[in-house]
């Protein structure tokens, strides 16, 4: 396991989630992009866990598949079923018009889901914020 690469994935995940939160201050809010960034954050942190566990992550955007694969390493990832299921909707659809309908409530939940997946996974990769390789 190359810790530098794991930390890079984590840092990119953090950047996506921070960007989603930052965009919440825009008027009008880019609701689709906020949800998409939350999905991207979750995808990257789950892939960081795979790398931390000594295996290359699968080449997929499917959070449900990534969660199931993480669960083969650590059963507790089953606790992220709902969050991954909800965020999985935002992997491609928000990038195109005439898809899902987005509301303030949906983006709030997407951010909470992204935060939970991030915190949960970081606790399992023994992540040290002071070793971050991408500056805030």
Q: Please check whether residue 132 lies inside any domain of the structure.
A: no
Comparing 34-38, 43-47, 129-133, which segment has the lowest mean pLDDT? 129-133
**Do 77 and 83 form a contact (C-beta atoms < 8 A)?**
no
Q: Residue 49 is part of a domain; what is its CATH number?
A: 1.20.120.330
> 108 lies in which domain range?
3-126
Q: Please check whether residue 60 lies inside any domain of the structure.
A: yes
**Residue 53, pLDDT score:** 92
Q: Please check whether residue 51 lies inside any domain of the structure.
A: yes
SS3 52: helix
What is the tens place of the pLDDT at every residue in 19-44? 999 999 999 999 889 999 999 999 99
Q: Is the pLDDT of residue 105 over 80?
A: yes
SS3 82: helix
Largest CA distance in the chain: 43
Q: Is the pLDDT of residue 93 over 60?
A: yes
**Do 104 and 114 form a contact (C-beta atoms < 8 A)?**
no
Count of structural domains, the chain: 1
For the chain, percent of residues with pLDDT exceeding 90 = 72
């Amino acid at each position: 396991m190359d810790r530098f690469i794991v930390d890079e994935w984590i840092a990119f995940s953090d950047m996506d989630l921070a960007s989603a939160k930052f965009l919440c201050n825009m008027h009008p809010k880019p609701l689709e992009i906020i949800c998409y960034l939350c999905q991207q954050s979750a995808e990257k942190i789950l892939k960081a866990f795979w790398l931390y566990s000594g295996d290359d992550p699968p080449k997929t955007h499917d959070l449900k598949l990534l969660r199931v694969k993480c669960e083969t390493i650590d059963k507790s990832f089953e606790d992220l079923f709902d969050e991954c299921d909800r965020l999985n909707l935002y992997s491609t659809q928000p990038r195109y018009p005439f898809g899902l309908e987005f509301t303030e409530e949906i983006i709030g939940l997407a951010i909470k889901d992204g935060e939970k997946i991030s915190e949960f996974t970081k606790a399992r990769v023994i992540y040290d914020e002071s070793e971050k390789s991408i500056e805030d």
